[in-house]
Amino acid sequence: MSRPVVHQAAALLLGYPDHHWPDRLHTVHTTLRTVPGPETGLLLRFCEQVAGTEPLALAARYVATFDRSRRRCLYLTYYTDGDTRRRGATLAGLKALYRDHGWQPPEDELPDFLPLMLEFAARTPDTGTRLLADHRPALELLRFALAAHRSPYTDVLQAVCDTLPGSGPATREAALRLARTGPPAEAVGLLPYPQRAPDAPHAKETSR
């Protein structure tokens, strides 16, 4: 497995399917065909599933999948921090981490947006993989929610989770119960994974 390649490919596939999408999909598909491994097999299966979908139709599916359900949110700190002041602190910590490694993500996107985190992991494999592992509870909840939604994006999340060391939530049933309840509205984490960040003002969430 080439973990950085999987992370970069997943970042591109989880981005909004704009007018550049056909070229992006072609590049990912062509590259992954030369990279062996079960994770790339999952990503290739996703590419083949959506290859015949018109960009506008796929864009509508993307919005319905990720933007209209808090259980399938691509902003990972929402699963652990909810809409609380603590989330602002976590977002500030992510920005500082990116800066410390010489990476400046776009200013018009929150730093916990999964495609951004995956691109960071592709550029800085050791630190980025640890970052994704720290947010594995959110990744697993998103994966289970996508599977319940019967979304082809499930394969992309499965591929990402398979690149991470160790295990996620203790049982699939526990993760599914948490996914059904949705993210917290107050400062209550969904899983016992501590978030270590100083207090900071709440970051305002952007919308597409």
- Per the model's pLDDT, the better-predicted residue between 64 and 204 turns out to be 64
pLDDT tens-place string over residues 94-143: 999 999 999 988 888 999 999 999 999 999 999 999 999 888 888 998 99
Residue 85 lies in a domain: yes
Residue 113 lies in a domain: yes
C-beta neighbour count of 73 within 10 angstroms = 22
Q: Residue 75: beta bridge partners?
A: 113
- Per the model's pLDDT, the better-predicted residue between 63 and 194 turns out to be 63
AA identity, residue 129: T
pLDDT band at 6 (very low <50, low <70, confident <90, very high): very high
- pTM beyond 0.85: the answer is no
For residue 83 the two structure tokens come to: 């809409």
pLDDT band at 190 (very low <50, low <70, confident <90, very high): very low
User: Taking the chain, what is the end-to-end CA distance rounded to the nearest angstrom?
Assistant: 33
* Contact criterion met (CB below 8 Å) for 43 and 32: yes
Q: What pLDDT is recorded for position 1?
A: 59
For residue 96 the two structure tokens come to: 């500082």
d(Cα 134, Cα 81) in Å, to the nearest integer? 13
d(Cα 114, Cα 165) in Å, to the nearest integer? 18
pLDDT tens-place string over residues 139-175: 998 998 899 899 999 999 999 999 998 776 666 566 6
Residue 166 lies in a domain: yes
- Per the model's pLDDT, the better-predicted residue between 200 and 104 turns out to be 104
Residue 115 lies in a domain: yes
What value does the mean pLDDT take over residues 77-100? Answer: 87
Residue 195 lies in a domain: no
Q: Residue 113: beta bridge partners?
A: 75
Reply yes or no on whether the pLDDT at 184 is more than 50.
no
Residue 157 lies in a domain: yes
* Contact criterion met (CB below 8 Å) for 55 and 18: yes
Residue 48 lies in a domain: yes
Range of the domain at 76: 3-181
pLDDT band at 199 (very low <50, low <70, confident <90, very high): very low
Q: What pLDDT is recorded for position 68?
A: 83
Residue 196 lies in a domain: no
Structural domains in the chain (count): 1
Q: What pLDDT is recorded for position 194?
A: 34
d(Cα 3, Cα 39) in Å, to the nearest integer? 9
Segment holding 12, helix H or strand E: helix 3-13
